[in-house]
Structure 1
Amino acid sequence: MRHYVVCDLDDCLIKTDLLYEQWLVLLKSKPLVFLQSPFWLVKGRSYFKFKLSQHAPISPNLLPYREEVVQFLKTSKTDKNNQLVLASASPETWVKDISLHTGLFESALGSSQESNLKGAAKYKAIRSSIGENTFTYIGDHTADLEIWKHSSKVVAVNPSVSLRSKIALLAKPTDIITDKKRSTWNLTVKQIRPHQWIKNVLVFLPAFAGHKLVSADNIQNGLLAFAGFSFAASFVYVLNDLLDLKADRNHHTKKRRPFASGDLPIKWGLLLLPSLLAGCGTMAALLPTDFAIWISVYLILNLAYSLYLKQSVVVDIIILSMMYTLRIFAGSAATSVPISEWLLSFSTLFFFSLACVKRYTEIIRSKNKITLDGRGYRQVDYSMVQSLGVGSGLISILIILLYLQSNDVRALYNNPQNLWFATPVLLFWISRVWILTNRDEIHDDPVVFAVKDKISWICLGLLGLIFGIAT
């Protein structure tokens, strides 16, 4: 007698939930249709899924498969009496696409426009497909208990303590499949990227450059601005990673990010977003209104970048460099210290150079691809991006040299001539960064590289010493 091994899909065979994932794909690819999508629910969940599948096709080759379940299925397939079936509440077209891609299953069952295959409805569809034959069911959710009641064997994937106890009451042969899940807390910390908060030190730059950082009020407001931008930056990282799952999974390093790898549930990310935004709003409420305006501009610009602008050649680099400069504007608003035109000119060109480092690195590390995933660049663009980055970096040093000849420098420094020694240090650092970038020996993010690089810290110490002597 033939035996069937029936496997669930979402959070079981794959380490993600396709409904949430493809809904986010819809937001990025067809925002106007996305706005219509809540109204699909009026006609029921099955209709919602059907419409979503029409507008958001999946890429089965890029999904994060659970290796432990795949291995179990491969072992089951070696028994010629076993027939493998993929059964899911996801839309039928998605389920069939994944079944075809894996090559493991003889048949696939999914939700249609009229029916949502979950719980009892899924069992009915399974029984209709396999007849009176016995079956093993691989699932992960309490909704699967209705199916396990009728199965000859239970296979539970990462069951909770509560689900384990309910499975035990069924008194059936049971296998438990667990993967090496990392702590949700550790994954959340990794996702919000606190190491990137070092960029927010830029909010102190207007007060530091204007020699007004000694004020207690400026320090307090600077710290609040730092916290506000830390919440905002983490919000942006979470949002960007949720919207960029496909491109990240096709990237040599980004595929290991918590959402892309499937280690952190997408639903958790959707809960993180309002929490981080609330933290950002709280900090902004404690500071002058102008700060709230600048941080709002930062968030809106990042949303536009995530949805559209990152695919535009050079525009994306300009936007990335602006993210740094916006922190300086926000710091000025928080501390009420005006920004020097010299500082603004230098930062615009300097951070444009660093943004070019980031993009150049991504291009040269995609050597086997004609175009860069999720970007508008081609392999042939690497030399032009390099030229733009090196040129803007060197011109930013020229701004420093011109500043040394201005009247502004004499008003702030007792020994302004000593500031000249800062230029060879900056020339060394920016030149070294680009040489290492050309050798492909630098981190994707130049700021992360600088934080971990001992020579960069030595350069920073020298600059601090030079500015101290000049003062």
Structure 2
Amino acid sequence: MVLAAGHAVNPRDSGARLQALESVNDMSGRPDPIPLCVDLDGTLIRTDVLLESFLGLVKTSPLRAIRALFRLRRGRAEFKQDIADQVDLDASVLPYDDEVLAYLREERAGGRRIVLATATNEKYARQIAEHVGLFDEVLASDSKTNLSAERKLDRLRRRFGSGNFDYAGNSHADLRIWPEARSALLVRPERGVEARDARCSRITRVFPANGGVTTALLRAMRPHQWLKNLLLLVPLVAAHRITEADLLATALLAFVSFSLCASSAYVANDLLDLRADRHHPRKRLRPLASGALSVQQGLGLSLVLLACGLGLGAIVSTAFLSMVALYYALTLAYSLSIKNRVVADIMLLAGLYTLRIIAGGVAVQIVPT
């Protein structure tokens, strides 16, 4: 049930979603004695610290990133610790949820105790808590314990007692915790979370999900950059065969294939450059850097685009598929290393333009001369 000013309301009521349903202080003005426990990923910040720090390791040392993956056999706690030991995180540029921060400031100003309760490694959690400056206590994962789901619930019950804490979260993993809390605060909840939580918890506030995801996905794909791929049509134009319908259809299919793979590479580049982009005056506004898209959404988008692009490339021909794969490998190499080498980056970018023309010739089986 969702309570609004002491009354039951439908959880789908958009008015209830935008309204705080319970005051921080009681009518006498005394601070709420129940601590507010706040999750980190997807709640306080619009990103995933583990994924982001792992991508940072991939960027600096792909081999060390591969070695780190083998630590997963020893458990997520050791894996998180290994990543934290190798990667530093700049807490000052993370995409914080401004509405949540404003709410926490109000609660803190009213004298309420606020606790950061997260499965993120304690190194990062404490850095973020210190930067935010609103938390009285930090509960986080360490090298032995991955503080997620059941383990987080157990820690909260031992620390505060069942029903003696409020909890703010966003994910399906938090559904195990909310029924044991006095009240639940939902921050941009994942699909299906609010409906399920309303059946077993007392929801006192919902921070509704922001719209514009479709727009953010399109922006991340950078379709304006697809104009470069019109170079695939050059062999067909140069051979004066652009009016042949079958060849034109093949060339256009190749164009779409190349464009989808290019967009996948752009998203991958943004994922690898998150930290640098957030320090840039313009790039910090990109969907992934700003948090308009989550890291998970970015990874999913990149993989889907790559799969579709390669699939269409295979329809064109095996030879063209190899050209698309080569293009993607070179762009990935550019993102990981070559872009930081002054002469090599220019040579590679110029070579990619030439590769587009060659790939277009392979698609329609016309050799440029």
The interval holding the TM-score normalised by the smaller chain is 0.7 to 0.9
Q: Secondary structure of 2:177's partner?
A: helix
Q: Report the residue type matching 1:200 in the other structure.
A: N
Q: Report the residue type matching 1:98 in the other structure.
A: I
Q: Which has the higher contact order (CA 8 A, sep 6+)?
A: 2
What residue in structure 2 maps to residue 204 of structure 1?
233
CA contact (8 A) 2:172 2:190 kept: no
Q: Secondary structure of 1:237's partner?
A: helix
CA contact (8 A) 2:47 2:95 kept: yes
Give the TM-score of the pair, scaled to structure 1. Answer: 0.67
2:343 is the counterpart of 1:318: no
Equivalent position to 1:269, from 298, 305, 309:
298
Is the deviation greater in 161-170 or in 218-227? 161-170
CA contact (8 A) 2:184 2:201 kept: no
Equivalent position to 1:221, from 242, 246, 250:
250
Alignment of 1:306-385 (within 5 A): 306-340=335-369
Equivalent position to 1:84, from 114, 118, 124:
114
Equivalent position to 1:298, from 324, 327, 334:
327
Is the deviation greater in 202-211 or in 235-244? 202-211
Equivalent position to 1:96, from 112, 126, 129:
126
Name the CA shift for 1:299/1:78 in 2 (closer, same or farther; >3 Å): same
Shift in Å at residue 113 of structure 1? 1.3
What residue in structure 1 maps to residue 280 of structure 2?
251
C-alpha RMSD of the superposition: 2.2
2:176 is the counterpart of 1:146: yes
What residue in structure 2 maps to residue 364 of structure 1?
none
Query: Cα deviation per residue 1:248-279 (whole Å; 9 max; x = unaligned)?
Result: 21222222222112122222222233322222
Q: Report the residue type matching 1:20 in the other structure.
A: L
Shift in Å at residue 58 of structure 1? 1.3
Query: Cα deviation per residue 1:194-243 (whole Å; 9 max; x = unaligned)?
Result: 22212111111122234332333432331122122112111111211111
CA distance in 1, matches of 2:84, 2:278: 20
Equivalent position to 2:81, from 27, 34, 50:
50
CA distance in 1, matches of 2:193, 2:157: 23
Shift in Å at residue 321 of structure 1? 2.4
Equivalent position to 1:162, from 171, 186, 192:
192
Is the deviation greater in 18-27 or in 70-79? 18-27
What residue in structure 2 maps to residue 119 of structure 1?
149
What residue in structure 1 maps to residue 289 of structure 2?
260
Q: Secondary structure of 1:116's partner?
A: coil
CA distance in 2, matches of 1:112, 1:158: 27
* Count of residue pairs the alignment pairs up: 338
2:226 is the counterpart of 1:186: no
2:36 is the counterpart of 1:5: yes
2:80 is the counterpart of 1:22: no
CA contact (8 A) 1:68 1:178 kept: no
Shift in Å at residue 281 of structure 1? 2.2
Q: Secondary structure of 1:252's partner?
A: coil
Q: Secondary structure of 1:181's partner?
A: coil
Unaligned runs of 5+ in 1: 341-471
Q: Which has the larger radius of gyration?
A: 1
Unaligned runs of 5+ in 2: 1-31
CA distance in 2, matches of 1:178, 1:167: 14
Q: Report the residue type matching 2:345 in the other structure.
A: D
CA distance in 2, matches of 1:334, 1:172: 60
CA contact (8 A) 1:3 1:133 kept: no
What residue in structure 2 maps to residue 36 of structure 1?
67
Is the deviation greater in 285-294 or in 84-93? 285-294
Q: Secondary structure of 1:3's partner?
A: coil
Query: Cα deviation per residue 1:84-125 (whole Å; 9 max; x = unaligned)?
Result: 111100101110010011111122111011111112321332
